[in-house]
Structure 1
Amino acid sequence: MATSDTSTLTNSAQIFTTYTLPQIRAVHKTLHAQIDEKSARLRTQVGNSYRQLLGTADTIVQMRGDMMSAQEVLGRMGSQCGRTVIDNKSAGLGRFRGNEDAELALGRAARVKLLKACGLAVSRLLKAGTGKDAEGNRGDRLVLAAKVFVLSRLLVSSFGNLKASDEEIRSAVEAAKKNLDGLRRKLVRAVEKALQKVEEGTDITDILKALSAYSLSSSSGTRDALRRFLSIRAEAITYEFDYEEHEKGRGTDNILRGLDLYTKTLVDVQALVPNRLPEALLGLKKKPLLADEALRSLEGLRLDIFERWCGDDIRYFTPFIRHDDLDGKQAKEMLMAWAKKGGEAVLSGLRNTLEHISEFKAIIELRTSTLQRWIRNGGKARGFDPSIMLDGLRKAINNRLLQLIETKVVKLKLVGSEIAATLEAWQSGVTDRQRGLWDDEMLSIDFSIGAAQVTHEVVSRVYGRNHAVARAITGYESWHHIIDNVGDLVEQLKRQRWDNDVDEIEDEEVIETRQDLLSKDDPQLLHTRLDETLIKAFQDLDGQLTTLWRSRKDGLDNGQIATYVLRILRDIRNHLPKLKEVQSFGLDNVPSLHEQLAIYVSVTPIEEFTATTLTQQRVAGLPLWEGEPALPTQPSPSTFKLLRNITVSMGNLGVDLWTPAAVRTLKRVSCQQIAVIGHKELAATALDLDGAESKVDEDGKDETSAENGGNAKTTDVFIQWLFDINLLRRYLNLGNDESDKAMKDLASEILKRTGLDNEAERRLVKASQEYWKRTSLLFGLLV
């Protein structure tokens, strides 16, 4: 249905007479819509008119304020434009124009005073920047000091060529020039000190401001500033390792600081260029120097007063610094070249430092701290492979450790030198003099010295460690203690962890590779070299001892020397390294040493035994024989004395010497000597009997009874000899050894001389066994 047009209606009655009910409803809706639209339009129009009214009111208020200000200014101008005021100003202007020379002199004096104030301000700023309380604003002070320095330089230049009449001004300017040179050096040193600082609290902002101060004071661009920065860091690294010139102590701190300088330089340069440093230099020339708020607020300069006496060349001076003369590629090339030289300087300094460290533990600690520092910081620089520097550090440290291992191990030859010196100065009865366990010195010992010292004295005396032996063994024990420490330190390297979880999470493969290098390959290299040098050192010492012994083997003091060498070999072998190749150390010489020891111990008792027993013509204990036929039940006194003398001689020489091998050698040597002497005596007895029979035949006399009596005595002696030989075989029992065979042959030959039957022989052997059972403990060293 079409909408009805209500504009033609003149009154409301027409609606009800003209339209239908639906049309009336449509008209009703249309009228309501028009009413709402006109109400909204009216509200909008009223609001806009109100805002315009408020704006007009503000304008009226502002115009009133401006009019009052204009009236005030016009009134003040009117008061200053009076006739008297104009006359006074005109007279003053005339006087001013007539006194230009005085004005110039006043300006020069003001600039001289400002120049002096600048010198004091620079000194004060640099001095304040060195205190502990100024660490936070050190960079700001350096930049401000550089600005004051530039102002001083401008002031000096503003004087130009002074006339001769200005002597006072000239002297002041000359003094200021000299002072300016000193200030420049101080500023350079302060900048260098700030750039060399790499402690934990150092911020890149401080370095940036220090470089800004350097550029400002020297008018250097970005390229020159970066080159100077790299040069200062290179000099700082060299300084850390230049100990002779700077008289610095060598140690871990210097190496760590040099390494920090290297790594921090790489990181700092990448942070400075190509953006931050050029931007900082650009900021220095955005406005004139005297417009700097920090400079104007500096106490002592009073620029609010002295600025009017400065010329336009000073007032409007803007620093000219090239900030765009270095791009990223050039900066990277400069950094790469510096990194190569800097790395070589660090490694060279590390090697030089290690050359002056002789303690293995100190180098291990240095290795730990140095490698940990590099692992933590070496990967922070972008574009650099930290493994290259790590390999260089490892190589330098490993080479020194290997060299130190060889140096320490080769000192084993000092033990051989001590033994050679002792043998060279050997004095029988002095060098080999033993201290007894129960001598007066031991009995009078002061037990308050402690149990350890008393125990040491007892053990030394029991094991025959006299002064000669103790010197060699003490040297070996000291050497062995050092080598043990070296081995323990090498083992500790295998247990070290080399993770870098401080700043970043590394790849597992990188961590595993580094762990294998530092805790597996390096310790294995050191361990292999240690084993090789130990084997060679012990072989050399063994050869040296062999040569020394062979040169003294046939001397008069060979028995005492054998005792000395055996004790040294015993104590050394008790502390041998756990290496299969050195377990045979000294064993080749032991049989020869035991041989000479056995001869030295047995020669005197056997000689006495030969002189008393084998030459006797009758048996002293014949009445004590038992049985039928009568047989001896105990040895002859000289045989008993032989066993006792051998035992006493063994004890006097030292019970520590008599190992099972030494006792076997002594038994073998004693058996051989007794067998040889016994056979000789039997042969001599047979010759005497043959001679006696020949004499009887020639004389033709009947001496049967006398002959029988002489043969009876000889038989008794042989029987006693047989008992003694069987007893000695018990004490000197060697089983199936050749020496025991010789004693058995001697016993068989004597048995033939006795004429005893088998039963008597068994009784004799059994009697010797029973006697050995009863008395064996009397000769314990031989049993």
Structure 2
Amino acid sequence: MATETPDPQNLKSWKDAFQHPIPTVRKVEQELRRDIASNREKLRSLVGARYRELLETAETIVEMNTENQEVETKLAGLGLRCNADLIGKRQDYLADGNNDNNCRALAAQLALLHRCTTIIGRLLRKHKPLLLASKLVIISRQLYKALSQHANAPPFVEVLSSQLVNLQKTIRRRIERRLGSGNSSMEDIVDAMSAFRLSNSSSVLDIINRFHNFRLDSIVKQLEHRPRSREGILKALNLYIQTLQNTKTLSSRRLSDALAKLQGQPLLADHDILNLGDLDLDIFGRWVTNDVQNFTPWIKSDNFTKQSAEQLTKKWSKEAFNRFLEKSSAVLQDFDDFEDVLSLRKETLEIWLAAAPATITHSSVSVLEGIRDIFKMRLKSIIRNQANQLVSIGDTVKTHIDQWVSGDINQMQSLWDSSITSLEYSDGAVNFKKVVVNTFYGRDLKIMATLELYDSWLELIERSRSSIDDLRHTRWEDTLDEGEDDSKLEMNPIALLNEDDPHLLQEEQVNTIKQAFLELQKTFRAAAEASGDSDQSGKSAFLLRLIREVRRNSPSKILEDESLDFAQDTVPVLHEVLVNEILAHVPPSNIFPVPKKNTLRLPGRTLWDGAPELPNQPLPSTFRYFRRLVIAMENFGPDLWTPPAVKILKERLNKAVTESLSKNFERLHDYSHEKIDKEEDNEKKNSSDEESTNGTAKSNADDSKPQDVRDWKIQLALDAFYFRDALSVVSEKNDLLDSFIEKIQVDVEDGNSIVGRLQEAAHDFWKRTELLFGLLAN
């Protein structure tokens, strides 16, 4: 059931109205306002628009009538008392009593001065209004001035004067503290300003200037006395905004009206002074000199207008905000956590955006830009510091290389080692899988320690990236005052805060991370060049594995689609070191057995088949060399033999194999020419038909050696085809082996498609055996 609205005329007090629900109270208020408006119109219709002037005129007539009656009564009394003898006797009596009056006046003023100082101290101890204490100070100063001119003034006057000086200093400090405090209400500020005016006889502009100075000092103190404190920045900004809003209120004649009241009547007639019963003004007041009784404060006049107040506010706003930015930037230097700075930035901007529409400043745009700039500078600095932490990883790598002990990287552990196969498989075999992966990728203690630093760095910059991305989704609309006109902000802050700032921070992070990787790349390059002569292969393997991990775990979300060719120039150098070490362990110069002049019989000749007979597999030494080569590569670590590394190895082998093939081919070619010359000499020497049977047998024995030379050439041709399949790479350096193959084809081809059969046999044998040499296979 709805509550009935009570009749306002039946309410005995305002408290009775608030016993009802709020909607009922609002209805009562509306009825009262309607009644007031109706009564006002009725009065105006009865007495006219000059009703107020009529009342004042009536009161003036009544007062004049009363004063006339008093004057007439006094004049009648004076006429009755105008007796010459009586006046003479009165003068003699007054001359004798003047001395007594002077003593009483001195005692009364001294007592009043003492009571003033006592009451002032009590007011200060109880934190009473400073204006009342200042009024008592002014009265005390006037009393001291009158007493100091008295010939019989006691020394106690100077004691009271010293106390008064100390009290004045205390009041001045209280005024400064109250004007500088952000917890002071407008009543406290006006009271303190009025007290300040009584102490200094300043104008309104002077008082507001001092108020601004006090507040500026407080803003600076908030930031200087609170190092590493987010509250310092927030309180300083709140104090800055509150000062501007207080100045706006003070300039709306509130301060001027309060100061005008001070000179409306003498201080001893002030209502607040009269209410101080401890002063006993009704006793001591009549003994006070006229100068003290009639003393009225004087206010220095100035042209304080709304326009001058606005100019004064903007001038202070610019100066104070610049100091705020300067000190806040210094405070932010102590913040190293990216998320903390972003959180403080959000709180600071929320404070300003909520107050900006109702605050007069030198420029709302400058304030917003200033706040954004100090936080952007610090955030960019933190981003650079985070990116530069990657340099510490480079320093760790350099330390490992400088302190390298030969044999630090031992032979690769087999995945089938008993220490691995005997691991527990419980809980999803997490530990087992981790050990297998680390073993396969050659991650020893040094690499694991370095990767731990790198992973921590990745996690750090990823958190920063995520925080930057969150800036785009911050809802500033809830902070802006919907009741105010957004045009007062002179710009759209949401676009700046949600688009421009994240873009600038992201761009800074991408650039600094790229630069950090370039510096790390230089460190790896320097470490590779300074590896020295001892255990170069071990150091190269260490660097290659780290480079691979960096490439695999690069901050792809930060760099987005931009490629990171990390250590692109260093990796080939390290691969060259590995290849040199491999070829030193398995030299390619011993691939083919050297054909001897007296023993040209080809190994495996009996396995040839077909018509004409041709080999179907390479020399056993070729197969054994590939097997030794792959074992040596596995011992260094199969994870190191990436396609670029294998390509370099194949190119080196291509050249070495071509040289060995060419050398053997030339040797066979020389054997063939020697045999031809020898046959021609034998023909000249044995031209008769009576050649002996032994001579014929010897000639037949020599005829078999040219066939052995040809067999060797055919076998070398098949081995050359086999090597070309095994070492096939897309490179200009492969032309050396192709050139040799073209050369030997001309020598062995006899029109029976021997070369085609050899090439097919070599290709088929490589297809059957390439899985045995997996590290070399494409």
Q: What is the TM-score when the length of structure 2 is the normalising length?
A: 0.70
The equivalences for 1:513-528 within 5 A come to: 513-528=492-507
Aligned to 1:322: 299
Is 2:540–2:577's contact at 8 Å kept on the other side of the alignment? yes
Aligned to 1:677: 660
- Distance (Å, rounded) in 2 between the aligned partners of 1:448 and 1:120: 82
- Distance (Å, rounded) in 2 between the aligned partners of 1:369 and 1:584: 41
Secondary structure, in 3 states, of the residue corresponding to 2:485?
coil
Secondary structure, in 3 states, of the residue corresponding to 1:664?
helix
Aligned to 1:141: 129
Aligned to 1:374: 352
Is 2:318–2:362's contact at 8 Å kept on the other side of the alignment? no
- Distance (Å, rounded) in 2 between the aligned partners of 1:420 and 1:553: 10
Is 1:282–1:323's contact at 8 Å kept on the other side of the alignment? no
Aligned to 2:221: 239
Q: Deviations over 1:305-358 (max 9, x none)?
A: 985797356984655141744521543443343223223222322333344444
Is 1:196–1:236's contact at 8 Å kept on the other side of the alignment? yes
Aligned to 1:117: 118
Aligned residue identity for 2:485: E
Aligned to 1:136: none
- 1:259 Cα deviation (Å)? 2.3
- Distance (Å, rounded) in 2 between the aligned partners of 1:650 and 1:259: 67
Secondary structure, in 3 states, of the residue corresponding to 2:559?
coil
Is 1:278–1:323's contact at 8 Å kept on the other side of the alignment? no
Query: Does residue 1:655 correspond to 2:638, yes or no?
Result: yes
Aligned to 1:335: 313
Secondary structure, in 3 states, of the residue corresponding to 2:196?
helix
- 1:195 Cα deviation (Å)? 1.9
- Counterparts in 2 of 1:765 and 1:221: CA distance versus 1, 3 Å: closer
Is 1:432–1:564's contact at 8 Å kept on the other side of the alignment? no
Aligned to 1:644: 627
Tell me the number of residue pairs that the alignment of Structure 1 and Structure 2 aligns: 664
The equivalences for 1:462-541 within 5 A come to: 462-466=440-444, 469=447, 477-499=455-477, 501-502=480-481, 504-507=483-486, 513-534=492-513, 538=517
Secondary structure, in 3 states, of the residue corresponding to 2:492?
helix
- Counterparts in 2 of 1:433 and 1:162: CA distance versus 1, 3 Å: farther
- Distance (Å, rounded) in 2 between the aligned partners of 1:510 and 1:116: 52
Instruction: Find the partner of 1:610 among 591, 600, 603.
Output: 591
Aligned residue identity for 1:514: P
Instruction: Find the partner of 1:191 among 156, 171, 175.
Output: 175
Aligned residue identity for 1:337: K
Aligned to 1:24: none
Q: Deviations over 1:724-769 (max 9, x none)?
A: 44444443344x7555554455566667887898477766656555
- Distance (Å, rounded) in 2 between the aligned partners of 1:509 and 1:310: 61
Q: RMSD value over aligned CA atoms?
A: 4.9
The equivalences for 1:659-738 within 5 A come to: 659-687=642-670, 690=673, 702=695, 703-704=698-699, 707=702, 721=716, 724-734=719-729, 738=732
- Distance (Å, rounded) in 2 between the aligned partners of 1:414 and 1:381: 48
Is 1:216–1:319's contact at 8 Å kept on the other side of the alignment? no
- Counterparts in 2 of 1:431 and 1:148: CA distance versus 1, 3 Å: farther
- Distance (Å, rounded) in 2 between the aligned partners of 1:412 and 1:608: 45
Q: Deviations over 1:617-673 (max 9, x none)?
A: 666666766677776666554333322222222222222233333333333332222
- Distance (Å, rounded) in 1 between the aligned partners of 2:498 and 2:349: 12
Aligned to 1:777: 771
Instruction: Find the partner of 1:279 among 241, 247, 257.
Output: 257
- Counterparts in 2 of 1:383 and 1:166: CA distance versus 1, 3 Å: closer
Instruction: Find the partner of 2:197 among 211, 215, 240.
Output: 215
Moved more, 302-311 or 110-119: 302-311
- Distance (Å, rounded) in 1 between the aligned partners of 2:322 and 2:733: 73
Q: Deviations over 1:482-537 (max 9, x none)?
A: 54444444433333444454363324796863333333334444444545555555
- Distance (Å, rounded) in 2 between the aligned partners of 1:590 and 1:206: 74
Is 1:143–1:212's contact at 8 Å kept on the other side of the alignment? yes
Q: What is the TM-score when the length of structure 1 is the normalising length?
A: 0.69
Is 2:336–2:382's contact at 8 Å kept on the other side of the alignment? yes
Aligned to 1:93: none
- Counterparts in 2 of 1:769 and 1:542: CA distance versus 1, 3 Å: same
Is 1:625–1:631's contact at 8 Å kept on the other side of the alignment? yes
- Counterparts in 2 of 1:284 and 1:716: CA distance versus 1, 3 Å: same
Secondary structure, in 3 states, of the residue corresponding to 1:573?
helix
Aligned to 1:160: 148
- Counterparts in 2 of 1:392 and 1:740: CA distance versus 1, 3 Å: closer
Is 2:109–2:147's contact at 8 Å kept on the other side of the alignment? yes
Moved more, 638-647 or 604-613: 604-613
Q: Deviations over 1:110-150 (max 9, x none)?
A: 55763563254034223xxxxxxxxxxxxx53334434545
Is 2:245–2:359's contact at 8 Å kept on the other side of the alignment? yes
Moved more, 281-290 or 220-229: 281-290
- Distance (Å, rounded) in 2 between the aligned partners of 1:548 and 1:614: 46
- Counterparts in 2 of 1:113 and 1:756: CA distance versus 1, 3 Å: same
Secondary structure, in 3 states, of the residue corresponding to 1:192?
helix
- Distance (Å, rounded) in 1 between the aligned partners of 2:425 and 2:284: 92
Secondary structure, in 3 states, of the residue corresponding to 1:781?
coil
- Distance (Å, rounded) in 2 between the aligned partners of 1:101 and 1:143: 32
Q: Deviations over 1:45-64 (max 9, x none)?
A: xxxxxxxxxxxxxxxxxxxx
Give the gaps of 5 or more residues in structure 2.
Answer: 1-96, 686-693
Aligned residue identity for 1:649: A
- Counterparts in 2 of 1:332 and 1:432: CA distance versus 1, 3 Å: farther
Aligned residue identity for 1:190: R
Aligned residue identity for 2:568: L
- Distance (Å, rounded) in 2 between the aligned partners of 1:706 and 1:103: 166
Query: Does residue 1:264 correspond to 2:242, yes or no?
Result: yes
- Distance (Å, rounded) in 1 between the aligned partners of 2:137 and 2:436: 82
Is 2:592–2:621's contact at 8 Å kept on the other side of the alignment? no
- Distance (Å, rounded) in 2 between the aligned partners of 1:319 and 1:537: 75
Is 1:119–1:152's contact at 8 Å kept on the other side of the alignment? no
Is 1:156–1:177's contact at 8 Å kept on the other side of the alignment? yes
- Counterparts in 2 of 1:306 and 1:598: CA distance versus 1, 3 Å: farther
Secondary structure, in 3 states, of the residue corresponding to 1:373?
helix
Is 1:221–1:325's contact at 8 Å kept on the other side of the alignment? yes
- Counterparts in 2 of 1:151 and 1:441: CA distance versus 1, 3 Å: farther
- Distance (Å, rounded) in 1 between the aligned partners of 2:392 and 2:400: 12
- Distance (Å, rounded) in 2 between the aligned partners of 1:305 and 1:455: 101
Secondary structure, in 3 states, of the residue corresponding to 1:391?
helix
- Counterparts in 2 of 1:225 and 1:579: CA distance versus 1, 3 Å: same
Aligned to 1:68: none
- Distance (Å, rounded) in 2 between the aligned partners of 1:306 and 1:688: 150
Secondary structure, in 3 states, of the residue corresponding to 2:357?
coil
Aligned to 2:232: 254
Aligned to 1:60: none
Secondary structure, in 3 states, of the residue corresponding to 1:379?
helix
Aligned to 1:33: none
- 1:383 Cα deviation (Å)? 7.3
Secondary structure, in 3 states, of the residue corresponding to 1:114?
helix
- Distance (Å, rounded) in 2 between the aligned partners of 1:439 and 1:661: 29
Q: Deviations over 1:208-252 (max 9, x none)?
A: 1222233344454434322221111121122233x2xx4x31444
- Counterparts in 2 of 1:208 and 1:458: CA distance versus 1, 3 Å: farther
Is 1:433–1:466's contact at 8 Å kept on the other side of the alignment? no
- Distance (Å, rounded) in 2 between the aligned partners of 1:204 and 1:323: 22
